[in-house]
Structure 1
């Protein structure tokens, strides 16, 4: 069996319908990028809609697919940490199961790591990016990322795009310090990586908003609170 170069992770929670499209599309794309040298890990996080059974059946007939099941909900961040620890590739990437980011960008994302970057991340906020989403989401996203840049001194434009790749050998010195267990994981990883001097490349992407996605007032409050809490840990607690 060929050595695994790329481990691609799909974080999943009650996403059966999306999995039916995402798994075959992922396998097709990854085969073009790293033929015979990849694995697709489905980090299934306590789903109740049959997602685990669907992936388990897929795994039985296709050895490129691996199910990583959790009996209880871990949260996005902890599910990704667990999957990265289990990954066998020298390059580890993940993307959202709804394929909101166009898969045509996966080759460039992985190529950035091959070229020497420690982390590559998709960006919906670069001038070359193409995005389709509601006005409310757009305002919230730009406001959130502006605060991350201002308060946490990040040099990046988009911290929450679910489309990232990492050099696996750089993760052991980074992930233990990341405490976010859900959506803020993406931001904390990028902020802490910059503080460690990791080489990070942002790539413009084509992205569309998923169905049923809304932004509520309490979500905006959580965003601001998470930013301030991380600033406190970085500058006061020195974590």
Structure 2
């Protein structure tokens, strides 16, 4: 012990005799070295989305006689957008639905979605019943599409989507299906041919990757992504549209975020396990600490029901990197970087059985993903032109 103390004393004396200038240079060199190592580490671990395969940029839909079409090339506003220009919309509302093995939950969600879409934005070819029940809308607010992005599904997700489309396309009075918000099945609505398009990702990307892929190929003036389980009340889409229009800037850019923050004290949340509620509050704290100021004020970043104006897409979609659960946060960060207005809107939401989220594992993964994401954007590993 005495020998060790003597060594320490000699080290202190040696350092004390070194000129202060040399010590400062050594300290700065050490800090610079640590920064370089940290930058290299983040550069190495920061996710880089894989390029889409040629077959993933095609879609299938139903022809007028109900047969599945051969794969056709997806339109892409991105290819025509060397700056922040974007091709004009050809319809009013695009819905992107990421789906991984959702054969059991998809039908109910689609039923509620097409009922709302056809009632609010349907065309004159949609049948007399729909026309009678439609609420008045401005004449420009017409036309819709659903892009179902099957994210490497190994079950019958695509088959279920085509069967649903066929039932609602070939019959003027199709039989409806029960959904999370409509437990009693009623009469469905007739839909025009080609309104439901199915995109198959050969290799699973993750929810964020599936959403981003779909948003690259939308035709709508507004674009919403919605979870395939139907947990968010689809009829609240009108609230998002209204909020989006209210906050649009002079360039026609806006984002409306569906929010469940108003449900924090509700029975649905209180009944959750203590672990899940603890992880939820911990994640919110991490978000508040690690995200830019305006993103940090969003009370619910993870609700799978978000609407974008078409003119906002070129400032967000081309720069997306996260393909996992944390992708919502990156979208909001990119909106903030581009000074795009964001509105948070309370929406209906309920728990739906069959979630693929592993609370503990995915919460840890989301915290790690957020840390890497924030560091990558702060250090310039990721850049937004």
For residue 145 of structure 2, the aligned residue among 39, 47, 59 is 39
Structure 1 position 12, deviation (Å):
0.6
1:54 Cα deviation after fit: 2.1
The 1:190–1:38 alpha-carbon spacing in structure 2 relative to 1, beyond 3 Å, is: same
Determine if contact 2:152/2:203 at 8 Å carries over to the other structure. Answer: yes
Q: Match for 2:373 among 230, 233, 238?
A: 230
TM-superposed deviation, 1:18: 1.1
Give the structure 2 partner of residue 20 of structure 1. 107
| TM-score, L = length of structure 1 | 0.89
C-alpha contact (below 8 Å) 2:315/2:334 kept by paired residues: no
Greater Cα radius of gyration, structure 1 or 2: 2
Residues matched between the structures, number: 238
Q: CA deviation at 1:63?
A: 2.6
SS at match of 1:172: helix
Give the Å deviation of 1:28: 0.3
TM-score by length of 2: 0.57
More strand by share: 1
Cα separation, 2, equivalents of 1:97 and 1:44? 10
Closer, same or farther: CA 58–206 of 1 in aligned 2, 3 Å: closer
Q: How far apart are residue 9 of structure 1 and its match? A: 1.3
Aligned 1:161-180 pairs, distance under 5 A: 161-180=303-322
* 2:206 maps to which of 64, 75, 84: 75
Return the offset for 1:113. 2.4
- Could you say which residue in structure 1 is the equivalent of 2:233? 102
Moved beyond 6 Å, runs of 4+: none
Deviation for aligned residue 1:226: 1.5
Contact 1:76–1:183 (8 Å) recurs in 2: yes
**Superposition deviation, residue 59 in structure 1:** 4.2
Q: Is the 8 A contact 2:315 2:338 kept in 1?
A: no
Partner of 2:68: none
Partner of 2:340: 198
Structure 1 residue 150: Cα displacement:
1.7
Cα distance change, pair 176–3 in 1 and its aligned pair in 2 (3 A): closer
Write out aligned runs for 1:122-137 (5 A).
Answer: 122-126=258-262, 132-133=268-269, 134-135=272-273, 136-137=275-276
**Closer/same/farther in 2, CA of residues 113 and 78 from structure 1, 3 Å limit:** same
Unaligned runs of 5+ in 1: none
Does the residue aligned with 2:299 lie in a helix, a strand or coil? Answer: coil
Native 8 Å contact 2:206 2:324 kept in 1: yes
Measured at CA, do residues 108 and 129 of structure 1 come closer, stay the same or move farther in structure 2, by a change above 3 Å?
A: farther
